[in-house]
Amino acid sequence: MTRLSVNVNKLATLRNARGGNNPDVVAWARAIERYGAQGITVHPRPDERHIRRSDVRALSKAITTEFNIEGYPSEDFIALVLEVRPAQVTLVPDPPGVLTSNAGWDAREHKMFLKEVLARFKREGIRTSVFMGTDPEQLSHAADTGTDRVELYTEPYAANYHKDRASAVAPFANAAEKARQLGLGLNAGHDLDLHNLAFFNANVPGLQEVSIGHALVCDALMYGMENTVGLYLRELR
């Protein structure tokens, strides 16, 4: 079964909007694990507008499932990841001020940079993943970096799902086959939700993990967190 990693950034955004520690991100992450999620994801940004570095350190000591830290590999980010040594690090090409991740890496242009950064993580036993689009040539360049996995950026799928879901998922199915040929593990994330997740999971072979935050937290406002985690897990069976 594809594993569910819940991104808790949105809980931190809610906490930071008021100050204090409500909701308690660490307590909620542990609850989400109890509800069945197989991992917790965070994306710390330089301005700490949601997840803070102190959250990353606290979560690394508290959670018992896989911890995935994603972000742009600045020296500060690299140092934080090497300090807490999560199960997985996912590199995204976001410049510091961007609102949310909105594209995969150009692995051809940034191949040497990625190769050098990924090697630093791999020496510490941290599984590596690179945020990518579905272009087969770019996936080949990603494989050259030495990454263990790629995470497919799924916003194009979500944007076109209700228009023509077969056409929307086709590039991702093809990318999955290319990743298999290249020996790359496969993750996916961004704009997956209760409407489109099951079809994606059924039609993208070899999918190992999805990282979902915004949609899941929004659904939790309606259905409750425990029930919502269960609903997402059901879509992945």
CA separation for the pair 108, 115 (Å, rounded): 11
- Judged by DSSP in three states, 93 sits in coil
User: Is it true that domain 3-235 has CATH number 2.40.50.100?
Assistant: no
- Categorize the per-residue pLDDT at 5 as very low, low, confident or very high, splitting at 50, 70 and 90: very high
In sequence order, the 6+-apart residues with CB closer than 8 A to the CB of 208 are 2, 3, 149, 185, 186, 187
CA dihedral (2, 55, 213, 90) positive or negative = negative
User: pLDDT-derived band of residue 96, with 50, 70 and 90 as boundaries?
Assistant: low
Give, as one character, the DSSP assignment of residue 152: E
Mean pLDDT of all residues in the chain?
Answer: 96
pLDDT band at residue 94 under the 50/70/90 scheme: confident
User: How much is the pTM?
Assistant: 0.96
CB atoms under 10 Å from CB of 64, counted, come to: 9
43 annotated active-site = yes
**Catalytic residue from among 33, 50, 66, 70:** 70
Does 70 qualify as catalytic in the annotation? yes
Q: Of the residues 50, 110, 141, 190, which is catalytic?
A: 190
Alpha helices in the chain (DSSP H): 9-18, 25-34, 53-62, 75-84, 111-123, 136-144, 155-160, 165-182, 197-203, 214-223, 225-235
Q: What is the pLDDT of residues 148-188, one digit of tens each?
A: 999 999 999 999 999 999 999 999 999 999 999 999 999 99
CB 153 within 8 A of CB 97: no
Catalytic residue among 43, 50, 110, 141: 43
Per residue in 9-67, pLDDT (tens digit) is: 999 999 999 999 999 999 999 999 999 999 999 999 999 999 999 999 999 999 999 99
The yes-or-no answer on residue 190 being catalytic is yes
pLDDT single digits (tens) 67-87: 999 999 999 999 999 999 999
Give the residue among 17, 20, 40, 21 at the shortest CA–CA distance from 29.
40
